[in-house]
Chains A and B, each alone.
Chain A
Amino acid sequence: MPTAFADVTASDSTLRRFLHGLPGVDAVGLEARAASLGTRSIKTTAKAYAIDLAISMIDLTTLEGADTPGKVRALGAKAVNPDPTDRGTPRTAAVCVYPDMVATAKAAVGDSGVKVASVATAFPAGRAAIDVKLGDVREAVAAGADEIDMVIDRGAFLAGDYMTVFEQIRAVKEACGTARLKVIFETGELSTYDNIRRASWIGMIAGADFIKTSTGKVGVNATPANTLLMLEAVRDFRAQTGVQIGVKPAGGIRSTKDAVKFLVLVNETAGPDWLDSHWFRFGASSLLNDLLMQRQKLATGRYSGPDYVTVD
C-alpha cells in the first residue's frame, strides 16, 4: 500500500471521509462520453492491431458447475493455439477457472506463457467466512495459479462498512504471495457510478494489481461507461502515486466491435501505457471466436463462418 494512504486507512471514519470526498460522477455525462468514444471508426491497419491486441488480452474463461478436466484442457489448448489455421495468431493472456481446476489448467497450458487465473473468495457471491475465502485463495495459489480473481464483499460495501472490504482485500493480497490479484467489484450490484469509483479506490489502495468490473454472473456486467470510469480511476491513481494498476472488464463483451470500443476507451482515457495484456484484460469466452473470424476476414478478405474456428 502506498504510504500516502496510511492516514486514509487509519480508521473507519477516515476511510469513509476519503471515499465520500472523491469527485462525484455525473451519470449522463459519463455515459455520453463512453458513447461518443464508441463512435470512433477503427479500420484496416488499426483494426488489425486492435484485434491482435484484444486476443492477447483475453482471460479465456470457463466458470460453470459443469466444468470438467476435459473442458478445461480444451480451453487451455485453445488459449495456447487459438487458430490452428494460423500459428501466428497471438495467444490469450490467461485461462480463468475455478480453484479446483487450476492444476488441470496449469498442465494444459504448460510452459506456453499463458497464465492461469483462478477465481476465489467464494466466487461469485463472496458470501463466506473470511477464513474460507482465504483458504480458497491459498488452495488456488498452491495449485499453481498465477493470478487470483477475488470478489469483494458487496454486502459490507453497501452497508457502508468500507473497512471490512479494504481489510479483506489486504488479507487476500497477502495470501496471493507473488500471484497477481484482480479485485472484482460486481459493478452491477454496486449499482451507482459513485459506488464504483469508491470501490475502485478501496481496491487500489488495498493493493489490487487489477480492478475488475464483474463476475459475469449478474444482469449487468462490463459496460463502456463503468469501464471508462475505472480507467479514469487507475489513471488518477498513477498520477497521484506513480503506481500503475490494470483494468479488466468482464462479462457481456462478445463481439470484435465491442472489444475494439473498449480498446479505444483505454487508449483515450488511461492512455497507451495500458495497451498491453499486463495492464488490460477482457474476461470473456465467446469473444475469442469472433475476434478470430474477424482476423481471418482481414487476412483473406472474406468471412469464413463459425465452422472455421474451433468450438471448445
Chain B
Amino acid sequence: MTSPFEYAPAPESRSVVDIAPSYGLFIDGEFTEAADGKVFKTVSPATEEVLSEVAQAGEADVDRAVRAARKAFETWSALPGAERAKYLFRIARIIQERSRELAVLETLDNGKPIKETRDADLPLVAAHFFYYAGWADKLDHAGYGKNPAPLGVAGQVIPWNFPLLMLAWKIAPALATGNTVVLKPAETTPLSALFFADICRQAGLPNGVVNILPGYGDAGAALTAHPDVDKVAFTGSTAVGKAIARQVAGTDKKVTLELGGKGANIVFDDAPIDQAVEGIVTGIFFNQGQVCCAGSRLLVQESIQEELLDSLKRRLSTLRLGDPLDKNTDIGAINSAEQLARITALADTGEAEGAERWSAPCELPENGYWFAPTLFTNVTQAHTIARDEIFGPVLSVLSFRTPDEAVAKANNTQYGLSAGIWTEKGSRILAVANKLRAGVVWANTFNKFDPTSPFGGYKESGFGREGGRHGLEAYLDV
C-alpha cells in the first residue's frame, strides 16, 4: 500500500568517519605492511564502492604478531587486575565517545542498517568492555579458586556479521584475565577492527597486547595452527570450526568454537500474536538474517498458522529495505557477493524441493548485494531449507500439533544454538525450555543480548561459552 506519508531520506552523515585510503596490519603497537606486501580491497556491500585497501596478513606476519603478543604477555599478565581494568574501562569509554563514528563505519563496511549499529552493535560493544573490565580485579571470586592464571597468547578469528561486537566478545574477556591476543577479522569487514587498533593506542594499551591481522582464511589457519598460541577462539561456520578442531586435536591448546545454527522459534496458539510477529521479524530479519542464533525456523501451532502468516506477511510488507545509512532503513545489504550467491542458491533449492516461496514486495537497489525478506511455507523437516543454515533473510515455516511435537522438531537438527518460545502460559515456557537442546532459549522475545549472559551452542553449534562469568573460563588455566 502506498502511503501519502513518504519518509524523506534521512541519511546519517558519512563525514563523522574518516576512512584512510590504506591500512596496515597492527602488530606490536604499530601499523605495518604485510611481509610479502600483499593488500586487498574492502568494499561497501550496499554500493560496491571500494572503501579502503588493507594489508593482507600471511604466515610470516602471523608469526611476528604471535611473538609480539608473547613478549607483551609477560608484563601484561603480571599487572594487577585493577590496572588491567583501567585500560579496559578506558577502551569502553572511548568506544562510547566514538560510537557514532564506529556505527557509521560498521554500516559502511558491513552493509547493516545504521539503526542496528547505532542501537544494538555499538551499545553492546561498549557494555561488553565495561562488563569484563569489572571482572579483571575480581577473578579470585569467579569460582575458579585463588589467582586463576591466564593461558598466554590467544589466537582469535571472527566473522563478518557483527565485526566489532565479535571482536569485543573475544578481546574483552581475554584482556581482563591477563592474556594477550592476535585477532584476525573477516576479509570482508576489516575496518572496525583496525579502528579498534587505533582505540588501543588512544587508550595507551601497552604494545603487543592486542594485534590485529586482516586477512583471509589462510591467515586464520596459520594463526590457529601457530605452536605458540595457547588458546584458540573462533566464531564462524561449522565447516571451518571442524577443521580447526581437527587441527588443534592432540595439542594442549584450549579451544572455544561458536558455529552455525538453525534456531527454532516456537509459537503456541496462546501466544501474544502481535508481539510474536515482531519476535519472528527480529529473529530472522535482524542483520538480514546473518546471525548464527537467528530464528530461521518458525514452528507454529497448526491451529493458528493461517492467522499468524497473514499477520507476518502484512508486517513484512512494511519493512523498509535500502540505503543502510538511512536512519529509517530496516533491512540493509547482504555482506558479500559470495554470501548472496549462497542465500540465492539455498532459496532456489527450497523452491525446487517444493516449498512455497513468498517475498516481501520491495524494490532492490541496482548496485550492491541485496535479498528481499523471504519466507517459505509448506516446509517439512525433510527440506534442505529446514536443515541447512542459510545465514540470510529467509524464514522456513513449519507447523506442529502438540508441545511434544514442537520440542521434537525443534531439537531435530544438527545444531543447537538458540530457540524461542511464544506463549502467555508461564508453566509451558519453563517446561518447554527445559527440553530444548539449545544454548540460549528466549521466552516471548528473540535476539536479546547482554554481556552478563553466557552464550554458546550444543552439538554442531560449537562448544565453550562466551559472555558472563562463564566466559572467563575459556581464558583461564582452570
Contact = CB atoms under 8 A, between A and B. Distances in A.
A46 B273 CA distance: 31
B300 to A, nearest CB: 14
Contacts of A263: 5
Q: Is the interface of A mostly helix, strand, loop or mixed?
A: helix
B327 interface: yes
A304 B424 CA distance: 51
B8 A46 contact: yes
B5 A41 contact: no
B273 A23 contact: yes
A4 B3 CA distance: 31
Contact of B274 (A28, A30, A42, A264): A30
Interface in A244-260: none
Nearest to B271: A23
Interface string B1-41: 11111111110000000000000000000000000000000
A39 B327 CA distance: 8
Which of A29, A33, A264, A267 neighbours the largest number of chain B CB atoms within 10 Å of its CB?
A: A29
A159 B83 CA distance: 61
Interface in B111-157: 115, 119
Interface in B240-276: 270-275
B290 interface: no
Classify chain B: how many residues form its interface, as a range.
20 to 34
B279 interface: yes
A52 B461 CA distance: 53
A156 interface: no
A54 B7 CA distance: 15
A161 B444 CA distance: 30
B5 A23 contact: no
Contact of A24 (B9, B119, B272, B445): B272
A25 B7 contact: no
A183 to B, nearest CB: 21
B273 A42 contact: no
Interface in A20-44: 23-26, 28-30, 32-33, 39-44
B278 A267 contact: no
Contacts of B5: 46, 49-50, 53, 263-264, 267, 272, 275
Given A28-B444, A267-B3, A41 B10 contact: yes
A20 B274 CA distance: 16
A180 interface: no
B7 A29 contact: no
A113 interface: no
A134 to B, nearest CB: 36
Given A44-B8, A272-B4, A275-B3, A29 B275 contact: yes
B237 to A, nearest CB: 30
A297 B119 CA distance: 29
Contacts of A139: none
A189 interface: no
Contacts of B444: 26, 28-29
A247 to B, nearest CB: 15
B4 A40 contact: no
Contact of A43 (B1, B10, B272, B275): B10
A176 B3 CA distance: 33
B328 interface: yes
A273 to B, nearest CB: 8
A30 B318 contact: no
A47 B4 CA distance: 12
20 contacts: A23-B270, A23-B274, A24-B270, A24-B424, A25-B272, A29-B445, A33-B278, A40-B7, A40-B327, A41-B7, A41-B10, A42-B8, A43-B8, A43-B10, A263-B5, A267-B3, A271-B1, A272-B2, A272-B3, A275-B5
Given A25-B272, A30-B274, A42-B10, 10 more contacts: A24-B424, A25-B274, A26-B444, A28-B444, A29-B272, A39-B327, A47-B8, A49-B4, A232-B274, A272-B4
